[in-house]
Amino acid sequence: MHLNTAQWQVLRECIDGEENLQRVLSVLGVQGAEPLGKGQSVLVVDDDPTIIAFIHCVLEKNGYLPMISTSAAASLSVLRIKPPDLILTDMAMPDMDGNEFYARLRQIPETAHTPVIFITGTIIPEEETELNRKSEEGKCYMAKPFNAAKLLSIISAQLTKKRTHQPARTEAIA
């Protein structure tokens, strides 16, 4: 028996803890069931504890390794030591705006090609598709509010494009 992505997500949401999940999968005889993230690291930079908690939960339940920072400036010093596979950041941070943060990321060799997804309340979902179509490689926007499915879809698309060396632009998913 094999699980598709939707089935895998439902199980992860309903079963608490990786160990319990593996027991259930073993009893069911499920083979080849892998989380979306497969251990890939995602740095989340946001000053809103509610957003951080939501994203952390979604990432962790889907096999990603979330790294959390409430400060863009503070995260820059850590990135040289432990560069993530993807960066998810708020556009409006108290210590540094998203554009400045992005420019600094591109100056660090370890993050020069790391995909960056900007979470922003300054655009409406209808503008998101057009903005992403025009954005440079490795830069993507996601309008607030968003749900777990949209978040996971955009993260997965960006990481896939990074692996295949294609331009990392993503169309908005409603």
Q: Are 160 and 86 in contact (CB under 8 A)?
A: no
Does any domain span residue 97?
A: yes
Q: Which residues contact 99 (CB under 8 A, 6 or more apart)?
A: 91
For 108, which DSSP code? S
pLDDT at residue 128, rounded to an integer: 74
Question: Which helix (H) or strand (E) is 144 found in, with range?
Answer: none
- Secondary structure (3-state) at 124: coil
Q: Is the pLDDT score of 114 beyond 90? A: yes
Does any domain span residue 172?
A: no
The pTM assigned to this predicted structure is 0.72
To 5 degrees, how large is the angle CA 38–CA 72–CA 161?
35
CB-CB neighbours of 44 under 10 Å: 25
Does any domain span residue 48?
A: yes
Sign, Cα dihedral of 22, 157, 53, 11: negative
pLDDT at residue 19, rounded to an integer: 62
Torsion from C-alpha of 99, 115, 41, 93, nearest 10 degrees: 10
Higher-pLDDT residue of 127 and 20 is 127
Share of the chain above pLDDT 90, in %: 32
Residues 80, 15 share a domain: no
Here the CATH number for the domain that contains residue 78 is 3.40.50.2300
Q: Is the pLDDT score of 1 beyond 90? A: no
Share of the chain above pLDDT 70, in %: 68
Does any domain span residue 169?
A: no
Tens digits of per-residue pLDDT, 53-96?
A: 999 999 998 999 999 999 999 899 888 888 999 999 998 888 89
Domain containing 50: what range? 36-164
Residues 155, 139 share a domain: yes
* Domain count for the chain: 2
Question: Taking all residues of the chain, what is their mean pLDDT, rounded to a whole number?
Answer: 79
Residues 98, 30 share a domain: no
Residues 93, 25 share a domain: no
Tens digits of per-residue pLDDT, 21-59?
A: 666 666 555 554 456 677 899 999 999 999 999 999 999
Residues 157, 87 share a domain: yes
